[in-house]
Amino acid sequence: MNEISDKEILDQFFNGDKNKSFSLLLKKYQERLYWHIRKIVVSHENTDDVLQNTFLKVWKYLDKFKQESSLYTWLYRIATNEALAYLKKNKPEYHLPISENESEFKDKLTDDNFFTGDEIALKLQTAINTLPEKQKLIFNMKYFDEMKYSEISEILETSVGALKASYHIAVKKIEVFLKND
Amino acid sequence: MSELDNIKKETGFKVPEGYFDDFSKKMEDLIIEEKKPLGIYRMLKPLLSAAAIITAVSFLSYFAYNNNSNETSNQTAEALTQEEYEEEIYSEEFIIDALANEENNYTDTIETNEEIIEYLEDEVSYNDLLAEL
C-alpha cells in the first residue's frame, strides 16, 4: 500500500476535511517523530509527552504553515525544538559534572523497562549522551536514521560541510569512549 | 574498521505494545478537547493577560518616569497576547533562528580552523594536495 504524499495531506487539510487530514498526518509521521524524539530525550515517558506537545503544536499551526519548506522538514523542526526545550526544562543531570552524568545516565537506562539493549548498546547510548546536544542530534540522524546530509541540513539549518565535520568528530569521540570504557 | 563498524546498529529502545494505535486515538481526543468552545474564563484569559500586562507596564513606566525624569527612552512596551506570542515562536523563521542560535551557543563545534584542518587531513593526504598545486 502506497504511503499518502505530503501534498495530499496538505490539500486535504486546506481544501477538505481538517480532522481527516490530521489523522492521515498522524499515521504517516507519528512513529518517525517518536523515534527521532526518543533519541533526544531517551525515556519512553518523556518521549510520549514531547510527541503529544509536538502534534498539538502541529494542529495549532498547520493552517499557518507557509510551505516554504517541506512538511517533513517542518514537522522534524518542531519535534526537535520541542525535545530540546523539554531537556532544558527537565533534565535533572543537566548541571552535574560529566562523570556523575555518565554513571547516573547508565543507571537510569539500566532500570528503564523500555530499554532492552545489551551491554554494547548501553555503552553506545552512554557515549552518545556525552556529546553536546546538537552533535548528538547530528550523530543520531546520520548513524541510526541514515538520513542524507541534505535532509539534515534542511532540518537543522546547518551547512552540509559543518554537518559532515561534526559527525566525523562525534564518531571519533564515541570510538574513543567505546575503546576506553 | 572502526569500533562503530563492529557493533550492531541498534538503539536498544523499545516501545510498549499497541502504543502507536493508542497514541493516534489519544491525539484525536486531545484535538477534540482543543476545539471545544471556550468557557468564559478561557475566552477572557488572553484579554485579562493583556490587560494585566498593560497595567503593570503602565505602573512601572509611571514609576520609572517619576524617579528618572532626566532619562529618555524610545522603548514602547508591547503586550503580546498568549496567542500572538505562540504564533511568533512557532513561525518557521523563529524555529530556524532558535536552531541557528543553538548552533552558535555550542563551544564544542567545528568552528575552529584547527578542527576543520584536522578533519580535512584525515580525508585528504598532504601529498595529494601538493600534487594538485
Chain A interface test: which of B6, B92, B94, B96 (most A C-beta within 10 Å):
B92
Is B90–A60 a contact, with Cβ atoms under 8 angstroms apart? yes
Is pLDDT above 80 for A19?
Answer: yes
Q: Which residues of B touch A175 (CB under 8 A)?
A: 2-4
Residue A82 lies in a domain: yes
User: Residue with C-alpha cell 567545528?
Assistant: B110
Q: Which residues of A touch B116 (CB under 8 A)?
A: 165
Compute the average pLDDT of residues A3-19: 91
- Which residue from A minimizes the CA distance to B7? A120
Flag whether residue B36 sits within 8 Å of chain A, measured between CB atoms: no
pLDDT for A99 equals: 52
Residue A17 lies in a domain: yes
Q: Which three cell numbers stand for residue B93?
A: 523563521
Worst-scoring range by mean pLDDT, A12-16, A80-84, B83-87? B83-87
Flag whether residue B124 sits within 8 Å of chain A, measured between CB atoms: no
- In angstroms, rounded to a whole number, what is the distance separating the alpha carbons of residues A59 and A6? 15
Tens digit of pLDDT for each residue in A101-159? 788 888 888 888 899 999 999 999 999 999 998 999 999 999 999 999 999 999 999 99
- In angstroms, rounded to a whole number, what is the distance separating the alpha carbons of residues B52 and A72? 39
Compute the average pLDDT of residues A24-46: 95
- In angstroms, rounded to a whole number, what is the distance separating the alpha carbons of residues B19 and B8? 25
The CA-based angle A97-A99-A100, given to 5 degrees, is 70
Residue A161 lies in a domain: no
Residue A51 lies in a domain: yes
Walking along chain B (133 residues) 10 residues at a time, the average pLDDT comes out as: 80 94 92 70 71 80 68 49 60 51 45 52 49 45
Can you give the CATH number for the domain in which A74 is found?
A: 1.10.1740.10
Is A61–B108 a contact, with Cβ atoms under 8 angstroms apart? no
Whether the CB-CB separation of A75 and A83 falls below 8 Å is answered with no
Tell how far CA B28 is from the center of its chain.
25
Q: Which domain holds residue A77?
A: 1-90
Residue A158 lies in a domain: no
- Shortest distance, CA A160 to any CA of chain B (angstroms): 12
- Shortest distance, CA A28 to any CA of chain B (angstroms): 11
Our count of domains for chain A comes to: 1
Higher pLDDT, A107 or A81: A81
Tens digit of pLDDT for each residue in B93-130? 555 555 545 444 444 444 445 555 555 555 444 455 44
Residue A74 lies in a domain: yes
- Helices within B1-133 (DSSP H only): 3-6, 19-35, 40-67, 82-89, 92-105, 113-123, 126-132
pLDDT for A167 equals: 97
- In angstroms, rounded to a whole number, what is the distance separating the alpha carbons of residues A133 and B130? 37
User: Residue with C-alpha cell 575552529?
Assistant: B112
CB < 8 Å & 24+ apart, contacts of B8-12: B8/A120, B8/A121, B9/A143, B9/A144, B10/A117, B10/A121, B11/A35, B11/A38, B11/A39, B11/A117, B11/A121, B11/A125, B11/A144, B12/A109, B12/A115, B12/A116, B12/A117, B12/A118, B12/A121, B12/A122, B12/A124, B12/A125
Is A179–B3 a contact, with Cβ atoms under 8 angstroms apart? yes
Is pLDDT above 80 for A32?
Answer: yes
